[in-house]
Structure 1
Amino acid sequence: MDSLTQIVLGAAVGEATLGKKVGNKALLYGAIAGTIPDLDVIANFLTDTITAIELHRGFSHSIVFGVLLAPILGWLVNKLERKHNLGWKPWAKLFFLGLFTHPLLDAFTTWGTQLFWPFKVRLAFNSIFVIDPLYTLPFLLLTLVLLFYKRDSKMRRRLNIAGLGISTGYLILTLVIKEVVNQKFEQALNDQQIAYSNISTRPAPLTTLLWNANIETADSYLIADYSLFDTAPIRFETYPKNRKESTIMMKFPNVQRLMTITEGWFIIEQKMDQWYFYDLRFGLVPRKDQPPFFAFTYLLEEINGRIRATETPKTERDANYLLSQIWERIKGRP
């Protein structure tokens, strides 16, 4: 999830752990704990694109990371906050819970997390977008309001419990909605007599009212969307896999690494003498007066017998148009 959401979650977890004993300091250190796992973005500046993708939400988003780092941070903060005389263990508990709930929340997104690192298992429920106002805003409001109450106030505790409860309830609701949406897509495929081997669904940006789907067939991928307000049949767009045409690129180790990252949801295409790698997991971005493009597209360049991948940037104009199209599409297709 986005940084603000993780800060709010970390602060609420900190409050639930030590708020009654240390007041707003619990919110502060909880927010810090909720931020730390995302420092793995530093890899973007220190290594190549593919390695940075592999490291993202890896070790820093694992239980092992929390177990190793929490005692160190607990000992350090206990030294800084000697006046509270808590010892290092309560602080370590706060940090572990903050470090653990961060990747647990991220597991509900499409990218997922390697919560069980070093095992190469990425946990991804695909039920919430990385930014979802319905999750964040009520949680944020309740967390801000509790700041105006004393640390031993019953109302402060109730507000924090409400924030944690409402946000958790919303996460559970996204799983229920996802199951309903999956059934809609599967029924549409059966009604249209489309044979498929795999299906993956995820919410559109900023909402759980509009969903996207990738469907794998023998030679192609089908891509479709569905609004909870749709009454018209679901329409599927076909995108050829191009496996035979892209064999020359698939032999390169760096391309194979990208293929592994996408868990098989990819297309490699040559356009105007340049090769592009599309990660299908995050869907298409519509453009005004131009064909849509895949949200995560990488230019593949061969340099000294090796492939270098460079992500194609998205513009502010693309983002603004996407938001306008999402709003129109949420209204439903009659």
Structure 2
Amino acid sequence: MDSLTQIVLGAAAGEAVLGKKVGNKAMLYGAIAGTIPDLDTLVGKFLDPLTAIEIHRGLSHSIVFSVLMAPILGCLVSKIHKKAVATWKDWSWLFFWGLLTHPLLDAHTTWGTQFFWPFDLRLAYQNIFVIDPLYTLPFLVFLVLAMRLPRASAKRKKYNRLGLIVSSGYMILTLILKGVSYQKFTDALDAQNIKYTEIDTRPAAFNTILWYANVDVGDAYLLGDYSFFDTKPISFKRIAKNRDALGKYENSETVQRLAKIAEGWYAIAEREQHLFFNDLRFGVYDLEAENLKFVFSYQLVPNQYDKLDIIEAKRDPEAMKQVLSSLWSRIWGN
């Protein structure tokens, strides 16, 4: 999830663990703990682009990281606040939950987390977009209300608890909506007599009203969307996998690593004599556009060693404005 959401969740976790003893310091250190796992993006800046993608939401988003880092950070903070009534164990417990709730929340997004690192297993429930105002804003309001009250206030605890309950309730709702939308997609495929081997669904940006689906039909994918306000049947666009275009690079290390990151959901595009690896898990900017542009697309560039380097396709700010306008219109039905 986005940084603000992780700060809010971390602060709420800190308050729940230690707010009664140390007041707003619990929120402060909980917020810090909630941001620490995303420091892997800073590490990635010193690595090659492909390795940076691979480590994102890896070790730092695991239960192992939470267990190892919590006592270290707890010890450090206990020395800073020697006069506080909280013990080293108290601070360690706060940091454990602040660190752990971060990957638990990220596991609900499309990218997911390697929560059980070093085991090669990524949790990605794909039931919420990385920025969802309906999850974050009510949570933030309750946190601010709690922050303004004395640490011993019963209302402070109540507001913080309400924030956790409301946000968790919304998360449960998104799982239900995912299940309903999944059924709508499969019903549409059956109604159109489309044979498929696998289907992957996720919410559109900033909401859980509009949902996208990728459908594997063998040599191609079908892409479709569904809004809960739709009145017309779901239609699908066909995208060829086009993996033969890779030629001698089809089994190259770079392609295999990218394929693993994309969990097999990828198609190859050819533009201006260049090859592009399109990760389908994150969909396209605008499914109604004539020329589909994928959110995560990497140009494959042969190097002097007859291997492939990658260059991530840049995003056009002006095009993004049009995408947001189209998204808003599409949410309200076809």
Q: TM-score category by the smaller chain?
A: over 0.9
Gap regions ≥5 residues in structure 2:
none
Moved more, 157-166 or 284-293: 284-293
Matched position secondary structure for 2:202: strand
Equivalent residue, structure 2, for 1:208 = 208
Give the alignment of 1:1-334 within 5 angstroms: 1-286=1-286, 291-304=291-304, 305-333=306-334
Name the amino acid aligned to 1:123.
L
Q: Give the distance between the partners of 2:262 and 2:289, measured in 1 at CA.
A: 29
Matched position secondary structure for 1:291: coil
Q: Give the distance between the partners of 2:82 and 2:23, measured in 1 at CA.
A: 15
After TM superposition, give the deviation of residue 92 of structure 1 in Å.
Answer: 0.4
After TM superposition, give the deviation of residue 288 of structure 1 in Å.
Answer: 9.9
After TM superposition, give the deviation of residue 152 of structure 1 in Å.
Answer: 0.4
Q: Indicate if the aligned counterparts of 2:221 and 2:239 stay in contact, CA closer than 8 A.
A: yes
Measured against aligned partners, the alpha-carbon deviations of 1:258-313 in whole angstroms (never above 9, x if no partner) come to: 01111110011222211110000000013998623000010110112121111001
**Residues 130 and 274 (structure 1), Cα distance of their counterparts in 2 relative to 1, 3 Å cut:** same
Q: Indicate if the aligned counterparts of 2:139 and 2:166 stay in contact, CA closer than 8 A.
A: yes
Q: Give the distance between the partners of 1:306 and 1:166, measured in 2 at CA.
A: 50
Q: Give the distance between the partners of 1:289 and 1:120, measured in 2 at CA.
A: 36
Gap regions ≥5 residues in structure 1:
none
Q: Give the distance between the partners of 1:47 and 1:288, measured in 2 at CA.
A: 36
Matched position secondary structure for 1:276: strand
Name the amino acid aligned to 1:239.
I
Q: Give the distance between the partners of 2:22 and 2:245, measured in 1 at CA.
A: 63
Name the amino acid aligned to 2:32.
I
Q: Indicate if the aligned counterparts of 2:242 and 2:267 stay in contact, CA closer than 8 A.
A: yes
Q: Indicate if the aligned counterparts of 2:286 and 2:327 stay in contact, CA closer than 8 A.
A: no
Q: How many residues align?
A: 333
Q: Give the distance between the partners of 1:67 and 1:220, measured in 2 at CA.
A: 43
RMSD over equivalenced CA pairs, Å:
1.3
Measured against aligned partners, the alpha-carbon deviations of 1:106-133 in whole angstroms (never above 9, x if no partner) come to: 0000000000000010000000000000
Name the amino acid aligned to 1:103.
P
Q: Give the distance between the partners of 1:110 and 1:327, measured in 2 at CA.
A: 21
Q: Indicate if the aligned counterparts of 2:219 and 2:240 stay in contact, CA closer than 8 A.
A: yes
Q: Give the distance between the partners of 1:72 and 1:43, measured in 2 at CA.
A: 20
Matched position secondary structure for 2:293: strand
TM-score calculated relative to the size of structure 2: 0.97
Matched position secondary structure for 2:223: strand
Q: Give the distance between the partners of 2:222 and 2:288, measured in 1 at CA.
A: 22
Measured against aligned partners, the alpha-carbon deviations of 1:174-224 in whole angstroms (never above 9, x if no partner) come to: 000000000000000000000000000000000000000000011110000
After TM superposition, give the deviation of residue 86 of structure 1 in Å.
Answer: 2.4
Q: Give the distance between the partners of 2:221 and 2:24, measured in 1 at CA.
A: 51
